[in-house]
């Protein structure tokens, strides 16, 4: 399922660039303006629904925190369960976790051990707003697979292609980014 050029432009134009945030030299892609643009958000969510309705998915997993916004809405549209992949220490039940490298240091995400049900092999789509270096997304895909589920694809609204995150993640799973920034 492809997005028309007109619809892609509507979505792209709804995302605001913030220069020098969170530090000098970075151009932050602010999706809050996409979320409050009912036309752009509607086009985006309808596209994601149309793309994934035939994937025979069991769950949508959203990466903390912006992945929750898109993932929960998409799960509801597809009639699926939603699973949050959270930063360490935020989930109340027994979890498994995965560490990943940051520019300076290490971070960790986790998921409940029973997040994808009792039976092995649940098909899971992971979603987030943006992929840059891919550390968080790689850790999320690893976690899904460690539970016995299968990460079928990782979906991002924005993919920063000038970094190597997409390429690294493609070694583990399929990757779809709606808007690619060179």
103 as an active site residue: the answer is yes
- What's the pLDDT at 2? 82
86 as an active site residue: the answer is no
Put residue 17 in one of left, alpha, beta given phi > 0 → left and psi -120 to 50 → alpha. beta
Strand-pairing partners, residue 90, are none
CATH number of 54-181: 3.40.50.2020
Catalytic residue of the set 103, 110, 150, 174: 103
Look up the pTM and report it.
0.96
Average pLDDT over residues 119-136: 96
The whole-chain average pLDDT of the chain stands at: 96
Q: Which of 70, 66, 148, 63 has the alpha carbon at shortest distance from 107?
A: 63
Catalytic residue of the set 8, 12, 66, 150: 66
- What's the pLDDT at 169? 98
DSSP labels for 72-98? HHHHHHHT-EEEEEEETT--SS-EEEE
Q: Which of 60, 4, 66 has the alpha carbon at shortest distance from 30?
A: 66
């Amino acid at each position: 399922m492809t997005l028309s050029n007109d619809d892609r432009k509507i979505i792209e134009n709804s995302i605001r660039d913030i220069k020098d945030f969170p530090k000098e030299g970075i151009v932050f892609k602010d999706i809050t303006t996409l979320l409050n643009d009912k036309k752009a958000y509607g086009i985006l969510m309808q596209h994601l629904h149309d793309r994934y309705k035939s994937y025979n998915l069991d769950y949508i997993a959203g990466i903390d925190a912006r992945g929750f916004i898109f993932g929960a809405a998409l799960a509801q549209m597809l009639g699926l369960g939603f699973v949050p992949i959270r930063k360490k220490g935020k989930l109340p039940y027994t979890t498994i976790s995965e560490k990943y490298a940051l520019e300076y240091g290490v971070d960790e995400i986790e998921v409940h051990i029973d997040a994808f049900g009792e039976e092995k092999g649940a098909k899971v789509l992971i979603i987030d707003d943006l992929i840059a270096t891919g550390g968080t997304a790689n850790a999320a895909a690893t976690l899904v697979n460690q539970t016995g589920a299968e990460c079928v694809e990782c979906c991002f609204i924005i993919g920063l292609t000038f970094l190597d995150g997409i390429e690294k993640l493609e070694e583990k799973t399929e990757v779809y980014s709606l808007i690619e920034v060179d």
